Structure 1
Amino acid sequence: MQKHESTIVDIAKALNLSVATVSRALNDHPKISAATKIKVKEQANALEYRRNTLASGLRGSRTNNIGLIIPRVSMYFHAAAITAIQNKLHLQGYNLIIGQTNDAVEMEKQLASAMFSSRVDGLMVASTFYTTDFSHFDVFIRNNIPLVFFDRVPIDFYPAQVIKGDDYQGGFMATAHLAKAGCKTIAHLSGPLSCNLYKDRYAGYIDALRKYKLPFKKEWVFFNELTPENALLIAKQLFVKKPYPQGVFASNDTSAIVVLEYARALQLRIPAELKIVGYSNDPRTAIITPAITTIEQFPDKVGERAVAALLEIMNGARRKKDQVQTPIITAVELIRRASA
């Protein structure tokens, strides 16, 4: 049988108080004594009372819930960003509702609809690799619900605030570092160019090759989802016959680790015969042997800046629906280690 769910009426009857007094006590109203608040909250716990925060929020036009849509919680960057986002929101009295797209556009559309139906007070989004049409977020713009994109953001204009890392500079720094370390040929493992991250990192790679007058070899540039499986297939192509590339710039650390392990299995000396640079400063890059040179993205700072931007909008910095938003670019840094 379904258990009766306790209400504030049950609490009021048990304590011989009015429903209004119980409601005020549960909401920490200043006119209710501390003793009464304690008594009411203890009785609420005893009756396993669940407050309907959604209904309360609807009455006040706010739910104190913020939505977050990300590709995968398992990714180091987004896991670190989530921690920073939740901590910052918690300090401001907000709850965080997280949805994971698994890099599927259709799932992203469903989550956007679910977040809107849940009446979140604001939404933060790191889009999928393949999102090029962002119209499923238009409902937030039309209803003046604060919307912030971070990390993976629209490449073309979209009327929402954008927070992104300086991926062009990161790609340039990684490639330039390999060039200055003596690499005459540099391979590049990129993700899909439909994603701003890889479009910008690839552009930085190309410009660094030009600056240092190094050759571009089409057969040594790859555009795939940067999974361990794909990285292994790419490594097998790179090292199927000599001459091997002297340097590899991988657009994520997982791929850099796979390339390093495959090269070591071939008994290539790193960094003497092959130099490797990854991207993201995943903690694994510091403990593998040799440790991998990488690009630090500062995911905690990106997450905190995304929250700050969202709160600025929520606290009155409302913008016109078609107003161009200047992207906020966060700095990156080259972390030098033994692999390059």
Structure 2
Amino acid sequence: MTPKKPKSENSIVDVAKALGISPATVSRALNNNSRISEATRTRVKEKAAEMGYRHNSMASSLRNRRSNTIGLIVPRISMYFHAFFITSLQRQLQTAGYNLMICQSNDSVDVEKELANTLYSARVDALVVSLALYTEHIGHFDGFLRQGIPLVFYDRVPTLRTQAYVIKGDDYRGGLLAGNHLIQAGCKRVAYISGPLSCSIYQERTRGFIDSLTKYGVPFREEWTYYHELTVENAWSSLRRLFAGDVIPDGLFAANDTTAIAAVAFARERGIRIPEDLKIIGYSNDPRTAIITPAITSIEQYPNEMADKVAETLINALQHRGPSSSIVVGEPLVCPVDLVRRMTT
């Protein structure tokens, strides 16, 4: 059987013929132009819906050179920080008249490159990116900069200076707060489970943590330090090695909350008392840290506040074509963090 050819779609011209008015009037009515009466706008929209007319946003964006769409590349949508960030950013951008096209790299540099090319070809008006774990070179975003398309890196940002906007958390202070708190709580033998040092956030958290230990004269033990992707499986593997010897840690700084939660489960299985035998601090203040027993001390990153800064920067760049009042290209805007103390310390 020969497949049927797809039926051609009705156009503005077809709607205009059906109503006996000009295509220009139909176009203005569909775009809610105030020069067209409300009655005519209603009549046009009803007829367009009846005829199955669809607005060709791609053709419109080619004519206007604006798509009203902003691209977003995140490592993983499932991560607590990024999930909250996306919700807040999308709400603010929609209020300002922009759609958000959300993509995830799954922490793959190759996928990140493909997504950057796809979003560039899709003619997004701006791009927001939190880099994959192992992204060291950001040349795949150069096309946006060459064309003057606003580019914002947030949270996981380039480690070298860039001509893009950079908005990040104060990860150095987060590491410092974690180290200070563990030592002030009486810890003398502190372990550390970090993400890979190819990533800016783990570089900064590590630097702050080491500086805290140095300040208090507590040794930073390389043999009790692990750098890997912060999954539950990797956490258990590192914890087994940490607690395999005769001398074991009395404090643990986990560079994300998934690892801290795994540490609580590990301690329960091994009969390690928290906080008497082991004190634990996580990072991000994932809501799970407040409801687990015992509730976990963590570093609050304020994803909503970071989304506010990103939205402000984007809207200013797109609508006013000038620098934001709070951020300039190439100069990182650092968002605050705080320690939230709970029962694990």
Same fold (TM over 0.5): yes
Instruction: Indicate yes or no: 2:43 matched with 1:69.
Output: no
- Equivalent residue in structure 1 for 2:271, among 267, 272, 275: 267
Instruction: Indicate yes or no: 2:119 matched with 1:115.
Output: yes
Instruction: Indicate yes or no: 2:298 matched with 1:302.
Output: no
Instruction: Indicate yes or no: 2:86 matched with 1:82.
Output: yes
Report the alpha carbon displacement of residue 44 of structure 1 after superposing the two structures with TM.
1.9
Residue number in structure 1 paired with 2:140: 136
Stretches of 4+ aligned residues off by more than 3 angstroms: none
Residue number in structure 1 paired with 2:200: 196
Residue number in structure 1 paired with 2:209: 205
Report the alpha carbon displacement of residue 143 of structure 1 after superposing the two structures with TM.
0.5
Counterpart mapping for 1:1-340 below 5 A: 1=4, 2-314=6-318, 315-317=320-322, 325-340=330-345
Report the alpha carbon displacement of residue 10 of structure 1 after superposing the two structures with TM.
2.6
Q: Deviations over 1:158-206 (max 9, x none)?
A: 1111000000000010111010000001111100111110000000110
Q: Secondary structure at the match of 1:279?
A: strand
5+ residue gaps, structure 1, are none
Q: Deviations over 1:119-157 (max 9, x none)?
A: 111111101111111011111111111111000000111
How far apart in 1 are the matches of 2:304 and 2:209? 25
Report the alpha carbon displacement of residue 102 of structure 1 after superposing the two structures with TM.
0.5
How far apart in 2 are the matches of 1:72 and 1:287? 23
User: How many pairs does the alignment contain?
Assistant: 337
Report the alpha carbon displacement of residue 53 of structure 1 after superposing the two structures with TM.
1.4
How far apart in 2 are the matches of 1:156 and 1:223? 21
How far apart in 2 are the matches of 1:303 and 1:242? 46
- Give yes or no for contact 2:166–2:329 (8 Å, CA) kept in 1: no
Q: Secondary structure at the match of 1:329?
A: strand
- Give yes or no for contact 2:133–2:198 (8 Å, CA) kept in 1: yes
Report the alpha carbon displacement of residue 318 of structure 1 after superposing the two structures with TM.
6.0
Report the alpha carbon displacement of residue 216 of structure 1 after superposing the two structures with TM.
1.5
- Give yes or no for contact 1:253–1:280 (8 Å, CA) kept in 2: yes
Matching residue's letter, 1:167: D
- Give yes or no for contact 2:96–2:315 (8 Å, CA) kept in 1: no
- Give yes or no for contact 1:125–1:150 (8 Å, CA) kept in 2: yes
How far apart in 2 are the matches of 1:331 and 1:245? 29
Q: Secondary structure at the match of 1:133?
A: coil
5+ residue gaps, structure 2, are none
| RMSD across aligned positions (CA) | 1.3
